[in-house]
Amino acid sequence: MWKRRVLKKKVRTTMKQSYWRMVSVCFLAAMLAGLYPVSATFLGTQAAIPSIDRDMTAPFSAELTNSQLVSSLAGRLFGDTFLSDFFQSPFSAVADLVIELISTSSSAFFSVLRALNNYFVENWGISTLILIIGVITSFLYQLFIRNILNIGEKRFFLESHSYRQTPISKIFFLYKLRCIQHPAWIMFCRSVFQFLWSLTVVGGVIKYYEYSMIPYILAENPQISRKDVFFLSRQLMRHNKYRLFLMHVSFAGWKLLSLLTFGLLDFAFVNPYMTGTEAELYLNLRRNYVLSRSPRYECLNDSYLEHVPSEDELLISKALYDDSRGPYTQISYFAPEQYPVFLFSVQPPFKAVRSPVKADRKYTFLSCVFLFHAFSILGWGAEMMIQLLINGTSDGIYSPVSPWMPIYGIFGTLILLVCRRIIKKPAFVFLLNFVFFTVLEFAMSLTAELITGLRPWDYSGYSFNIAGRVYAGGSVSAALFGCAFLYYIAPRLTDRFMKLTKSVRITVCVCLTLAFIVDILLKALS
């Protein structure tokens, strides 16, 4: 049997030891996977919550928030009925708040609603086709990014129970193992079953708690079969669903306090506290289940989540292991207070294991020119994907040079030159990236408006914005993108770039620069 206060006490002890890592992982989960929509809403990664005064039958706009979208569809589908009257009443403000706080702009479900809403306005047109592309993009994002990072986050918290130095990169462990398709398929089945049961309302609540252990089981054993993972989740939650519900209710005070602090407390404490408590619950339930030798207990096969092997045990295990089992068995090292990866049940293919990235390397002038163009193009691609995910259209992108976004090229080059000396302080690098991008975006917005007389972008509808020129959510996303560029993308691209002969490197840089200049001139003349 388990008690809430005991689990919470264990989590608080773990948080004292690995606080910044736990906060960082939950922050990545919120920003990259949208796992904590309340936090993301107040940070401003999606449009601010609208007022209750709106026209539900107004023409479609890609900038509609989720609550406005639901109201618009209600007006089109139900006309002058009690349901449409409800969305026009003052009581709808509560519904709007709930919808905005528990949903994400990148949800595949809301992407479908946007396409359906646009169909009522224009029938089949180019904009609807673009929205369909957005639906597909949202679906793939939810399948291969959101769900996979969800499992990765759970893996981090499970390992942190016993290993204080668990790296933040553990959230990406399924990508490193190249074990993606099977867990993604199981999580997709979970979403489908959950949706179908939700149509019965009560059944949806019950199944939510019945399926709640699936991500944790996949984090422990990514190769488990679909039938086994659903069976084990049901067994682990048998007679525990109501108790887990009470545990969630016990966090209501913290969530209310988080709302009063505009979601900041979520990032700083509540999210890691709640997720850590759930991870402790899973470890408690699996321990009892394995000890009782209940049906299919052998599928819970990662004993090292709780049993920390000594150095002698590691050496013996290493000596007895078959080196052909996987690359980690050949390159393994015994990092203190970290999970012994070569003992994990899943090993990556040999081609997936690469040499360590040298993020603190020096960059030549040609490398900087090449990386300026590379990051400009990557930034343009990222903006396109984000717009398709959130709005189902690319209309919201301001790009004076396509497919380049120079602001990202300048930003990337700046952080390469400035942050290389502090590369071993990722938290400080992130804060510096945030400041750099905020100042750069504000300056470019002001400069473009002075030159053209038009404001290139307007973030007035987002929370924590400055004069509509910059907003917190955009700067945070860019800072994360900058960290990925600094720590991984730039070194990898440079390694490949430097394999070319010097004459080829010069030719590539000259061609990219000429294409960039020609595109600027063509747009200026038009």
Burial group, residue 309, by CB count within 10 angstroms (0-12, 13-18, 19+): middle
454 vs 130, more confident: 454
Residue 181: is its pLDDT beyond 90? yes
Q: What is the DSSP letter of 89?
A: S
Contact 360, 367 (CB under 8 A): no
Could you tell me which of 403, 401, 402, 419 has the C-alpha nearest to residue 411? 419
Phi, psi of 318 (to 5 degrees): -65, -40
What pLDDT does residue 522 have?
81
Residue 62: is its pLDDT beyond 50? no
- Mean pLDDT estimate for the chain: 83
Q: What tokens appear for 1 in the block? A: 């049997």
Give 91's pLDDT tier (boundaries 50, 70, 90). low
What SS3 class is residue 471?
Answer: strand
Contact 133, 258 (CB under 8 A): no
d(C-alpha 44, C-alpha 28), whole Å: 15
CA distances 130 to 118, 133, 145, 389, Å, are: 11, 5, 21, 11
Residue 97: is its pLDDT beyond 90? no
DSSP H or E stretch at residue 465: strand 465-466
Give 59's pLDDT tier (boundaries 50, 70, 90). very low
Secondary structure, 3-state, 347-359? CCCHHHCCCCCCC
Is omega for the bond preceding 37 within 30 degrees of 0, making it cis?
no
116 vs 200, more confident: 200
Contact 405, 383 (CB under 8 A): yes
Q: Count the Cβ atoms, other than its own, within 10 Å of residue 223.
A: 13
DSSP H or E stretch at residue 127: helix 126-141
Could you tell me which of 79, 59, 67 has the C-alpha nearest to residue 122? 59
What pLDDT does residue 52 have?
33
Q: How many residues does the chain have?
A: 526
Q: What tokens appear for 490 in the block? A: 């730039």
CA distances 519 to 39, 404, 432, 513, Å, are: 39, 9, 31, 10
- Range in 228-242, 307-321, 470-484, 506-520 the model is least confident about: 307-321
Alpha carbons within 13 angstroms on the beta-carbon side of residue 166 total 31
Instruction: Give the residue-averaged pLDDT of 198-227.
Output: 95
CA distances 282 to 144, 162, 301, 515, Å, are: 24, 14, 14, 55
Angle at the Cα of 60 from the Cα atoms of 133 and 30, rounded to 5 degrees: 60
Q: What is the DSSP letter of 466?
A: E
Which contacts (CB < 8 Å, 24+ apart) does range 355-361 have? 357/487, 357/488, 357/491, 357/492, 358/491, 359/420, 359/423, 359/486, 359/487, 359/488, 359/490, 359/491, 360/420, 360/421, 360/423, 360/424, 361/420, 361/491, 361/494
Q: Count the Cβ atoms, other than its own, within 10 Å of residue 135.
A: 22
d(C-alpha 454, C-alpha 226), whole Å: 55
Q: What are 465's strand-pairing partners?
A: 471
Cα separation of the two ends of the chain: 72
461 vs 215, more confident: 215
pLDDT digits (tens, 9 = 90+) for 275-304: 999 999 999 999 999 999 999 999 999 999
266 vs 322, more confident: 266
Residue type (1 letter), 64 = L
d(C-alpha 110, C-alpha 124), whole Å: 19
Contact 275, 26 (CB under 8 A): yes
Q: Count the Cβ atoms, other than its own, within 10 Å of residue 208.
A: 15
- Range in 28-32, 58-62, 239-243, 444-448 the model is least confident about: 58-62
Q: What tokens appear for 303 in the block? A: 């004993």
pLDDT digits (tens, 9 = 90+) for 362-418: 899 999 999 999 999 999 988 888 777 666 555 556 666 678 889 999 999 999 999
CA distances 490 to 168, 362, 396, 484, 508, Å, are: 20, 11, 27, 8, 16
**Distance from the Cα of residue 292 to its chain's centroid:** 37
DSSP H or E stretch at residue 470: strand 470-471
Contact 278, 29 (CB under 8 A): no
Helices (H), 34-89: 37-43, 66-78, 82-88
Give 55's pLDDT tier (boundaries 50, 70, 90). very low
Residue 261: is its pLDDT beyond 50? yes
pLDDT digits (tens, 9 = 90+) for 264-273: 889 889 999 9
Residue 168: is its pLDDT beyond 70? yes
Give 58's pLDDT tier (boundaries 50, 70, 90). very low
Strands (E), 196-246: none
Q: What are 401's strand-pairing partners?
A: 404
